[in-house]
Amino acid sequence: MISLQKNAVNFVKFALQCKALCFGSFETKSGRNSPYFFNIGCFDSGYSINKLSRFYTNALVNSGIAFDMIFGPAYKGIPLVISTSINYSLMLGKDIPFSFNRKEMKTHGEGGLLIGSPLKGRVVIIDDVITSGISAMESISIIKKTGAEPVAMLIALDRMECSVDRCISSRKSAVQEVAETYGIPVISIASLNDIFSNVMNDINLSKYRERISEYREVYGIL
């Protein structure tokens, strides 16, 4: 089994290669001006989504969490659960059911909000990032309504920054808040620390060091 650290390092390298990890000036969902951005939509080919899902699978296996199926919140969670379940079955020889939701209820044909294997047992939610925790809350609510049990959340990148309005009072990251609020572990393939190490060690990225350090000072949770 590949170590979590190696998985994180290789993931950051691959994200840079696919330009899914960019440096510059980006507005986040919370309205902050971030010196870096992670865009999972850049893993946009068979090769890259397959490789991405190997990082997810490694992180999931490494976590040791016992689960029965995976759930991907629309839209970006959809290719993530499909590719991860394929990779999981190839790497571990175990068939993992998956499910995902629609953003709007379908009122004709088979109808409904959920697609895929019926939600049951212990469910791991797979997504790209957590910003305010709204998507996590919605996924947990969907899963609980069916009687299934959300047991963990797996994301690609933990930005390790405080959530929008509770920043000053709680000094907890959005990821920590989700974990504490719902009592489930939140696992990430990599974190801002891994990105920061890369920026510190790569001479080509040296021009971004100061801005990232400043951003961390203001919003970061160490």
Ligand X SMILES: O=C(O)c1cc(=O)[nH]c(=O)[nH]1
Nearest one of 39, 107, 48, 52 to 84, comparing CA atoms? 52
- Is 108 considered catalytic here? yes
Q: Which stretch binds ligand PRP (CB under 6 A): 2-10, 18-26, 131-139, 142-150?
A: 131-139
Q: Residues 6, 19, 51, 106: which is the catalytic one?
A: 106
Q: What is the identity of the amino acid at 119?
A: L
Provide, rounded to whole angstroms, the least separation between the CB of residue 77 and ligand X: 12
User: How many angstroms separate the CA atoms of 2 and 178, rounded?
Assistant: 27
Q: Which residues are annotated as a binding site?
A: 29, 37-38, 75-76, 102-103, 106, 108, 127-135, 159
Question: In the complex with ligand PRP, which residue's Cβ is closer, 35 or 133?
Answer: 133
HEC assignment per residue over 128-191: CCCCCCHHHHHHHHHHHHCCCEEEEEEEEEECCEECCCCHHHHCCEHHHHHHHHHCCCEEEEEE
If phi > 0 it is left, if psi is from -120 to 50 it is alpha, else beta; for residue 123 that is: beta
Of the candidate residues 51, 52, 119, 128, the single one contacting ligand PRP (CB under 6 A): 128
Say whether residue 129 binds ligand PRP (CB under 6 A): yes
Query: Contact at 8 Å (CB) between 33 and 27?
Result: yes
- Choose, by CB under 6 A, the member of 62, 63, 131, 170 that binds ligand X: 131
Candidate segments 15-23, 58-66, 126-134, 179-187, binder of ligand PRP by CB under 6 A: 126-134
Catalytic position from the list 19, 51, 108, 144: 108
37 touches, from ligand X, ligand PRP, none (C-beta below 5 to 8 Å by class):
ligand X
* Residue 135 site contact among ligand PRP, ligand X, none (CB < 5 to 8 Å, cut-off depends on kind): ligand PRP
- 220 binds ligand PRP, rule: CB under 6 A: no
φ, ψ of residue 212 to 5 degrees: the values are -65, -40
Query: Binding site for 5-phospho-alpha-D-ribose 1-diphosphate: what residues are annotated?
Result: 29, 75-76, 102-103, 106, 108, 127-135
d(CA 59, CA 36): 23
Greatest Cα-to-Cα distance within the chain, rounded to the nearest angstrom: 56
Helices (H) and strands (E) in the chain, counts: 8, 8
Catalytic residues: 106, 108
Would you tell me which residues interact with ligand PRP (CB under 6 A)? Answer: 29, 73-76, 127-135
